[in-house]
Amino acid sequence: MTDTQTISVTVNGETASAAVPVRQNLVDFLRNTLGLTGSHVGCEHGVCGACTLEVDGAMVRGCLMLAVQADGAKVTTIEGYGDRAAALRAAFIDRNALQCGYCTPGMLASALEYVEGGGGADRAAIREHLSGNYCRCTGYQSIVDAVCDVIEGESS
């Protein structure tokens, strides 16, 4: 019974061990302790999606999971997607889907799950899947365009 616990997490392929306050959320641990500042912090109550990242293969809200809950898990952030997200990265750039870039790490995490899950180039379905991510620049059209480009590119 303690308010600090030592965790061991594999983040972007590298194992990290650290003593974390149990009240610390996962995204703060990644940013403040590991220096992985790619995942952004927005609303801190699960609404905006800026902190969306991957834990054990599923995208989650980094602000709604405690760092201590990630003990033993595999975490992937925007810094660690590598080739998996190469097509999406290129399409986001081609379509000017980044704009200010604040939502981009979360958008990319959500889009990647959609694309890797076999989602089709169906704009309504893409919008529904990305509906949990706010873009402060309201750049949704170009983000959906980018996701469609990747799916159509891969299917042709």
Partner 1 sequence: MKAAEFLYERPASVAEALALLADEDRDATPLAGGQSLMPMMNFRLAQPGTLVDLSALEDLRGITLSDGMVRIGAMTRYVELVRSGVVADHAPLLAMALPHIAHAAVRNRGTIGGSVALADPAAEMPALLLALDAQITVQSAEGTTTHGATDFFLGMYETALEEGELVSEIAIPVAAPTDRFAFYELARRHGDYAMAGVAVARRDNAHRVAFFSISDRALRAFDAEEVLDKGGSVIDAVAALAELPYSGDLNAAIPTKKHLSGVVLTRALEAL
> Shortest approach of partner 1 to residue 58 CB, angstroms?
4
Report the nearest approach of partner 1 to the CB of residue 56 (Å).
Answer: 10
Of the pair 59, 143, the CB lying nearest partner 1 is at: 59
Q: How far is the CB of 104 from partner 1 (least distance, A)?
A: 15
Question: Where does 3-156 have alpha helices with state H?
Answer: 26-28, 86-94, 104-116, 123-129, 140-155
Q: What are phi and psi of 18, to 5 degrees?
A: -160, 155
User: Which CB, 14 or 45, lies closer to partner 1?
Assistant: 45
Helix (H, G, I), strand (E, B) or coil at 4: strand
Interface residues with partner 1 (CB under 8 A) are: 1-3, 5, 22-25, 28, 44-47, 49, 52, 58-61, 63-66, 68-69, 109-110, 113, 127-129, 131-133
Cβ-based nearer residue to partner 1, 11 or 109: 109
Spatial separation of the C-alpha atoms in residues 87 and 106, rounded to whole Å: 16
Question: Which one-letter amino acid corresponds to residue 2?
Answer: T
Nearer to partner 1, 92 or 134 (CB): 134
29 token code pair:
């641990």
Give the span between the Cα atoms of 93 and 91, in whole angstroms: 5
Task: Give the shortest CB-156-to-partner 1 separation in angstroms.
Answer: 26
